Amino acid sequence: MEQSAGKMTSGITDPAPESPAKLELCNISKWFGPEGEGVHAVDDCSIEVKKGEFIVVVGPSGCGKSTLMTVGAGLEEPTHGEVLVDGKPAGPPGPTRSVVFQKFALFPSETVEQNIKFGLQMTGVSATEQETRLAEQLKIMGLEQFRRSYPSELSGGMQQRVAIARALVMQPEILLMDEPFGALDAQTRTILQEEVQRLHREMHYTVLFITHSVEEAVYLGDRVVVMTRRPGRIKRVIDLPRDVAWKTGDIELAAEHPEFIEFRREIWGLVREEIVSI
């Protein structure tokens, strides 16, 4: 408790100097349309995600945080700046950087198991290895009984589980999640937040997670990056305590912890400044 104030720091700090940077967004600017005339979505954003770290980006709607994600995934070229993976230019999108989209983006013509195996088939993983990894993901995400269903037969929460399984089955070095729970009802969201927290703790994924929910950011993140309104710049980077009891339990218990409340208050204050100052 007495540590919490000390851990709330401004600016970019280095909480785990022993881990090398896995994903770096270096001075990213993005214009849609001609520079100077079109929409200036992101301005000079730099984010470093260390190996095994969970970084959450929060900001008001339309601040360019999703643009940051598509640039990070290689789906959009930045107007300025570059994306590095292990210190080298990241290049085109691919399975080292798996993406979970807000709108699931499941292939409607494929069953659950075909969706999960899609990336494995595209990259030439052997048939036996495909089955092993599929079975593992079906079990982890609790999808075994739905393996032959089509996405249109599933609820939103189940669809997002399939999308997460489809990303994790690639054994990605980096997991990019773009408001993955934004389209889900509150109960489903809570369950999936806890599952993602558990997955990160057990498997040590490197995650860049976009959300507009401050609670989600405080519960899941090792560090939280707060963005300004458009054009999105980095307003503040806040280190959160890791390996504390409240982060490993249920989110509603965590939300009652004084430390959680303090961080939520601080981060919400920063986000609110951006919303009300328009």
The binding site for other proteins (CB under 8 A) comprises 70, 73-75, 92-95, 97-99, 101, 103, 105-110, 118-119, 122-123, 150-156, 166, 170
Give the shortest CB-150-to-other proteins separation in angstroms: 4
Q: Which of 90/267 has CB closer to other proteins? A: 90
Give the shortest CB-103-to-other proteins separation in angstroms: 6
CA distances from 190 to 154, 187, 251 (A): 18, 5, 7
Give the shortest CB-99-to-other proteins separation in angstroms: 4
Q: Which of 49/154 has CB closer to other proteins? A: 154
Give the shortest CB-112-to-other proteins separation in angstroms: 11
Is-contact 65 113, C-beta < 8 A?
no
Q: Which of 154/220 has CB closer to other proteins? A: 154
Q: Which of 30/97 has CB closer to other proteins? A: 97
Q: Which of 101/246 has CB closer to other proteins? A: 101
Pairwise CA distance, residues 76 & 79, whole Å? 9
Those residues whose C-beta lies under 8 Å from the C-beta of residue 6, and which sit 6 or more positions away, are none
Those residues whose C-beta lies under 8 Å from the C-beta of residue 154, and which sit 6 or more positions away, are 112, 146, 162
Give the shortest CB-226-to-other proteins separation in angstroms: 26
Pairwise CA distance, residues 105 & 166, whole Å? 11
Amino acid identity of 117?
K
Stated as kind and residue range, the H or E segment containing 225 is strand 223-227
Amino acid identity of 23?
L
Q: Which of 79/102 has CB closer to other proteins? A: 102
Q: Which of 32/150 has CB closer to other proteins? A: 150
Stated as kind and residue range, the H or E segment containing 57 is strand 54-58
Pairwise CA distance, residues 253 & 241, whole Å? 16
Pairwise CA distance, residues 207 & 49, whole Å? 8
Q: Which of 81/93 has CB closer to other proteins? A: 93
Give the shortest CB-94-to-other proteins separation in angstroms: 5
Nearest to 74 by CA among 125, 28, 12, 123: 28
Pairwise CA distance, residues 65 & 51, whole Å? 21
Give the shortest CB-83-to-other proteins separation in angstroms: 13
Give the shortest CB-45-to-other proteins separation in angstroms: 20
**In this structure, what are the phi and psi dihedrals at residue 28, rounded to the nearest 5 degrees?**
-75, 125
DSSP summary character for residue 38:
S
